[in-house]
Amino acid sequence: MALTLILGGVRSGKSARAEALAAASGCRVRYVGTAAVEDTSMAARVATHQARRPPAWETVAAGDDLAAALRPDAVTLIDGLGGWIAGRDTDTVRAALARLVDRVDGAEVIVVAEQAGSGLLPLDPIARDWLDLLGEATQTLAAAATRVELVIAGRVLELPAR
């Protein structure tokens, strides 16, 4: 089947683009959410995303093993990679992404991720480690993807294959 990677900055429209692709597939959709709701601002963001999704979509929380969320009878939309990476160690992320890439052959998968490296290098070492791991993760997924798109201000740029 296929892996699609949708990249973009915060509030770029990347999630809406991924949702539109999933809806246009004509298949069942399994939405895998990664956000940890720890304050009212994040709760509002999650509520906005939930309100956009059709009620027929199945929604599940992401666990440590993203590949376990894949279903061969549905499009699996994982939103978003950066939130999932936060708080996980490098080895866990690398292993989980390797399993995800291995399992894509039997599934249709859309992954939403923040575009790494478009701003200043963070001074905080934890933020820097997260950014480095996110960049590595998006490169890993892009190498395995049949389609990679960059969303900027709601506009979509399809990135060519290597």
Q: Return the pLDDT at 117.
A: 81
Q: Show the domain range for 11.
A: 2-159
Contact 31, 77 (CB under 8 A): yes
More confident of the two residues 109 and 117: 109
In this predicted structure, what is the pLDDT of residue 105? 83
- Whole-number pLDDT of residue 121: 87
- Looking at residue 42, its pLDDT comes to 75
- Residues recognised as catalytic: 49
Q: Which residues pair with 7 in a beta bridge?
A: 113, 150
Nearest to 116 by CA among 100, 97, 136, 96: 136
- For residue 16, give the nearest of 159, 161, 153 by alpha carbon: 153
Instruction: Supply the mean pLDDT for the chain.
Output: 92
Show Cβ contacts of residue 108 under 8 Å, excluding neighbours closer than 6 positions.
1, 2, 25, 27, 74, 75, 76
pTM recorded for the entire structure: 0.92
Mean pLDDT value of segment 108-118: 93
Least confident residue range of 34-48, 81-95, 130-144: 34-48
Residue 1 has a pLDDT of 62
Mean pLDDT over residues 112-139, rounded?
92
Cα–Cα dist 78/144, whole Å: 16
Cα radius of gyration (the chain):
15
CA distance 152 to 3: 20
Q: How far apart are CA 45 and CA 141, in angstroms?
A: 25
Structural domain total, the chain: 1
* More confident position, 17 or 106: 17
pLDDT the model gives residue 161: 81
> Between 13 and 42, whose confidence is greater?
13
Q: What does the alpha-carbon distance between residue 12 and residue 161 come to, in Å, rounded to a whole number? A: 22
Which residues, at least 6 apart from 89, have a Cβ–Cβ distance to it below 8 Å?
none
At 136, phi and psi to the nearest 5?
Answer: -65, -45
Residue 8, pLDDT > 90, answer yes
Quote the pLDDT of residue 29: 97
Inter-CA distances, 17 with 32, 118, 148, Å: 15, 20, 12
CATH classification of the domain holding 15: 3.40.50.300
List pLDDT tens digits, range 17-59.
999 999 999 999 999 988 777 788 877 877 887 888 899 999 9
